[in-house]
Amino acid sequence: MSARVRAAGMATFNEGRICVEKHQVIIAGAGPAGATCAKALHDRGIDVLVIDRARFPRHKTCSGVLFGQTQVLLRSYFGSLPPASVYCTEPEIKASAIREWKPDAGYCRYVWEIDKDGQAFPDVYHNIRRADFDHWLIAQSGAQFREGCSLSAAHSGPDGLRITVRDGGRESRLACDYLIGADGGNSTVRKILDPRWAVDSPTVLAYQTYNYFQSAGDLPAGQWAVFFKPEIGDILCCVHQKDDTLVLCVGGFKRRSLKKSMQAFREFLTRAFGVIFSDQKRDEGCLIRMAPPNPGRDRVLLAGEAGGFIYLNGEGISAAMDSGHRAAMSVAEALQSGGSALNRYQAGSADIVAHMQTCMQQLHFLSAGPPA
Ligand SMILES: Cc1cc2nc3c(=O)[nH]c(=O)nc-3n(C[C@H](O)[C@H](O)[C@H](O)COP(=O)(O)OP(=O)(O)OC[C@H]3O[C@@H](n4cnc5c(N)ncnc54)[C@H](O)[C@@H]3O)c2cc1C
């Protein structure tokens, strides 16, 4: 669909004594899903506002690796890979350098990404600073972007949707024809659509630390080492280098203390590989809800992790970008030709859901079964 829908700008109207700002599309969340969705809509002349509760550049718990599919999607949806300023000092991780370590057998190849729909992807991955990457991505979208603006409520109005936001401590009202929930793994938009989701879904918590180090010991340079140690975490734990730090990641279902897991992982790396850590630079954590994908309801579409679009092992930037793009195309077509954006989106994202299932069958992620 190349035709411009309307060279639209933001409109305002009064509702009672309140002045309401109206856009064709509002996107909550400016991560990879929101930024990719925004770019596709903006490129088609659609009036889109992106809001994010954070101010950019902001940290997001992530290993910060652009896998092969992500690189393909970046070229396709953004026309290029990110600039050099986004890459770490060791800019590449080869797929063959991601290795699982087994106490009895040593290192063996660990497959993180698999072919999709018969398409193989580049097998040299990019080691990036996630905060800078996301900042670049949303800037590339060209869309209006309001930082420090958090969506707190949404409901149907007489002629579209009404969104309540908190912006700099002040509550205000926005209106739109379509809302895209691209607000990540703890999505407020998804909770509004499905209040049971946050309560009922099995949830994995992930915790990362960035550690200065005196020696990486026997950890091979340039490798990303993966371990399955149920005594440390319920999912794989891993370590790789980012600039002058070693990034350690552990994860587990609720009730596990991930601070203790992290301490145990550090001690294991020192004992088994001779790693000598110095100070911790920073830490970060987030949750991943293991619920089936949900494309949304009526004129509210969910993209990226908010919609449950994440490939196993937390390879989520590609699924986020791809679902964000498909959501945008569905809305653009509905605005131009009528019909249901949601139905289009559901049909148009079926291959992402199918690939998620293939990943579930073929990749190894848990170190033990989920809790009863
Ligand atoms: C430990 C770990 C490591 C990972 N490593 C990788 C990796 O190396 N490569 C990879 O491809 N994927 C990785 N992932 C997955 C990847 O980080 C996510 O899948 C991806 O960020 C999802 O993108 P998104 O746009 O859906 O959401 P996010 O990137 O989470 O963006 C959501 C945005 O919404 C904003 N927001 C939240 N609530 C609101 C609100 N109420 N109003 C407005 N804004 C809001 C947030 O501030 C945020 O900016 C990893 C995940 C984890 C947990």
What distance in angstroms lies between residue 136's CA and the mean position of ligand 1's atoms?
15
Ligand 1 pocket, 208 CB below 6 A?
Answer: yes
Q: Which amino acid residue places its CA nearest to atom 41 of ligand 1?
A: 151
pLDDT digits (tens, 9 = 90+) for 219-262: 988 899 999 999 999 999 999 999 999 999 999 998 899 999 99
Ligand 1 pocket, 26 CB below 6 A?
Answer: no
> What's the token pair of residue 204?
């994995």
Determine the residue of 27, 51, 52, 129 to mutate for testing ligand 1's pocket, defined as the one with the most ligand atoms within 8 A of the Cβ atom.
Answer: 52
pLDDT digits (tens, 9 = 90+) for 277-322: 999 999 999 999 989 999 999 999 999 999 999 998 778 999 999 9
What distance in angstroms lies between residue 185's CA and the mean position of ligand 1's atoms?
7
Ligand 1 pocket, 71 CB below 6 A?
Answer: no
What distance in angstroms lies between residue 212's CA and the mean position of ligand 1's atoms?
25
Q: Identify the pLDDT of residue 370.
A: 56
Q: Which domains does the chain have, with CATH numbers?
A: 11-60+133-200+291-362 (3.50.50.60), 203-289 (3.30.70)
Q: Which amino acid residue places its CA nearest to atom 2 of ligand 1?
A: 62
Ligand 1 pocket, 322 CB below 6 A?
Answer: no
Ligand 1 pocket, 63 CB below 6 A?
Answer: yes
What does pLDDT average to in each consecutive run of 10 residues of the chain (372 residues)? Answer: 46 83 97 98 98 98 97 98 96 95 90 94 97 98 98 91 94 96 97 95 94 95 92 95 97 92 98 97 94 96 97 90 98 97 98 95 78 54
Q: Which amino acid residue places its CA nearest to atom 35 of ligand 1?
A: 29
Determine the residue of 36, 55, 60, 288 to mutate for testing ligand 1's pocket, defined as the one with the most ligand atoms within 8 A of the Cβ atom.
Answer: 60
Q: Identify the pLDDT of residue 159.
A: 83
Give a three-class secondary structure readout of the chain.
CCCCCCCCCCEEEEECCEEEEEEEEEEECCCHHHHHHHHHHHHCCCCEEEEECCCCCCCCCCCCEECHHHHHHHHHHHCCCCCHHHEEEEEEEEHHHEEEEECCCEEEECCCCCCECCECCCCEEEEECHHHHHHHHHHHHCCEEEECEEEEEEEEECCEEEEEEEECCEEEEEEEEEEEECCCCCCHHHHHHCCCHHHHCCEEEEEEEEEEEEECCCCCCCCEEEECCCCCCCECEEEEEECCEEEEEEEEECCCCHHHHHHHHHHHHHHHHCCEEEEEEEEEEEEEECCCCCCEECCEEECHHHHCCCEHHHECHHHHHHHHHHHHHHHHHHHHHCCCHHHHHHHHCHHHHHHHHHHHHHCCCECCCCCC
Can you tell me the distance from the alpha carbon of 28 to that of 341, in angstroms, rounded to the nearest whole number?
17
